[in-house]
A and B are shown apart, each in its own frame.
Chain A
């Protein structure tokens, strides 16, 4: 039971941190940010690996195989899509730098 309370503290602090981190973000980053947080909840792949590691029943092995598969999709797809969006921003800001460097 004490363990649960310790985890409840982590829970509450993470909520506050989550609110604080997002509050001051410019709107042009909202879509990439949603995509990035989407990738972060891909952490469920860790849970999928854990349950897959101690699955004994063949049916459960198959289900946990799919759990790891779709969890990985969430993680990899999430980060890759976010990266693609942000690459555009990066290229643009370096363009601006090059332009001002020319002058």
Chain B
């Protein structure tokens, strides 16, 4: 009966739950990760204690585990901190692929056996096909999300054609799924998974870069759900418990992120930024530039400065320079705080991770609701490569597609310095009226380079 294996799974399920719980607090998070990793090790080890295990295939399984470990450690070790979201997306895709492959192998294996025993078990067919198709969606979708974040694919505009296409693919998946349950065939199963992959591609393809964090979180939840259903298919409790935990927690994360952007998850998938063209261009006025010298003086002689980091900081890898500037200003008696928007960057907490890498004290990081009342008493807000998250159109332009999204209210501050490469709109494709605000000065250039100049200017003051 495999009692030993089941006991191992029970222990590992407990460790996963404990691990996630510890992950919820900064001080215990690293312990949580280790506890959950130990749970994983126990689950894998005890799988081989099942009495039904034949050891003839063990050599290549161990080879695959060793290879996977080496490649996984290598990839996780070399990835830059700014590229973490891509890496998470990649590993998530690998999980999805695994599920689809499990489903295929198990289906063919049972297919050979069932010629003797007669017939498939419908519950197995339904759960295994479902897990595999969700896994395929997650695999291809994650790979595309990764490619988009790496800039291999440009964010493209959505069109009615893609929506119709998606609807047709989804419909055909449902039809093939029903056909498969009625008349199980391994080849139809493979075809179903290919269609799942097509849906993963065409589903993620029209979604813009701004929504990628939500997409990755959603696909992570998908893989969790698929893992759980695959656990039902091959009757494995460890997969059911862990997969479901991830499916549920991933869904919560997805909803939290979508909410922070004033989007619904459905809106992200079906597309909400469709009608931006006519609403975008009611912005008038002149853009004022500021020289590095003037910016240095303005910052150094302020009482209070708030730094608003965004994706631009991640792209130019400027977190260390930001931290250096912060320390320099503090040494001159300026009070410096960081305002972290929940969706700044490409993933929630993205800015926190980068600033933590630069060893910024996290008592200086403030969440949106804590910091918003402070902007009106702030002398200078320094926006480092952020855009949509400070766009006042979200508050006062009902025609803007950003309308309703909670933002950092930097327009309340006395002065705003915008560090940006160009006047190009943000990922939402919306013009930012803050650029034209009389209080705003633009400091054009790459964030890292400009910050270096700014730091040396302030040092020379």
Contacts and interface: CB of A to CB of B under 8 A. Distances in A.
Interface in A1-33: 3-4, 7, 10-11, 14-19, 21-33
Interface string A49-82: 1111111110011011111111111111111111
Given A37-B20, A61-B60, A95 B359 contact: yes
A74 to B, nearest CB: 4
A61 B57 contact: yes
Nearest to B237: A10
A65 B64 CA distance: 6
B246 interface: yes
A32 B340 contact: no
Given A36-B32, A76-B69, A86-B30, A71 B98 contact: yes
A27 to B, nearest CB: 5
Interface in A79-95: 79-93, 95
Contact of B347 (A34, A43, A56, A65): A34
A51 B349 contact: no
A74 B353 contact: no
- Chain B: number of interface residues, binned into ranges: 35 or more
B43 interface: yes
A32 B25 CA distance: 11
B105 A14 contact: no
A49 B17 contact: no
A98 B257 CA distance: 35
Contacts of A14: 228, 240-241, 244-245, 248
A22 to B, nearest CB: 4
Contact of A68 (B30, B61, B92, B353): B61
Contacts of A56: 109, 112
A7 to B, nearest CB: 6
A86 B21 CA distance: 15
- Chain A: number of interface residues, binned into ranges: 35 or more
Interface string B43-66: 110011010111001101101110
B353 A31 contact: yes
Interface residues of chain A: helix, strand, loop or mixed (majority)? helix
Interface stretch (B73-81, B293-301, B385-393): B73-81
Contacts of A90: 30
B349 A32 contact: yes
Contact of B95 (A44, A51, A66): A44
B44 A76 contact: no
A52 B102 CA distance: 8
A41 to B, nearest CB: 4
Contacts of A63: 101, 104-105
B187 interface: no
B118 interface: no
B40 interface: yes
Contact of A76 (B29, B50, B76): B76
A67 B101 contact: yes
B27 to A, nearest CB: 6
B248 A17 contact: yes
B178 interface: no
A38 B242 CA distance: 11
A12 to B, nearest CB: 9
Contacts of A95: 359, 361
Contacts of B27: 93
Nearest to A72: B68
Contact of A36 (B20, B54, B61): B20
Nearest to B138: A41
Contact of B37 (A53, A61, A79, A96): A79
Contacts of B359: 88, 91-92, 95
A18 B112 CA distance: 38
A46 B91 contact: no
Given A4-B123, A52-B57, A64-B105, A28 B98 contact: no
A68 B350 CA distance: 30
B361 A96 contact: yes
A51 B109 contact: yes
Contacts of B29: 29, 32, 86, 89
Interface of A: 3-4, 7, 10-11, 14-19, 21-57, 60-61, 63-93, 95-96
Interface of B: 16-17, 19-21, 23-27, 29-30, 32-34, 36-37, 40, 43-44, 47-48, 50, 52-54, 57-58, 60-61, 63-65, 67-69, 71-73, 75-77, 79, 84-85, 87-88, 90-92, 94-95, 97-99, 101-102, 104-106, 108-109, 112, 123, 216-217, 220, 223-224, 227-228, 230-232, 234-253, 256-257, 340, 342, 347-350, 352-353, 356-357, 359-363, 365, 367
Given A28-B353, A36-B32, A45-B68, 15 more contacts: A15-B244, A27-B349, A28-B356, A31-B85, A31-B353, A39-B37, A43-B40, A53-B54, A57-B109, A72-B65, A79-B37, A86-B33, A87-B30, A88-B357, A89-B356
20 contacts: A10-B241, A18-B248, A28-B340, A28-B356, A28-B362, A31-B353, A39-B37, A40-B40, A45-B44, A49-B48, A49-B61, A50-B234, A65-B60, A65-B64, A70-B95, A73-B75, A76-B68, A76-B73, A81-B87, A88-B356
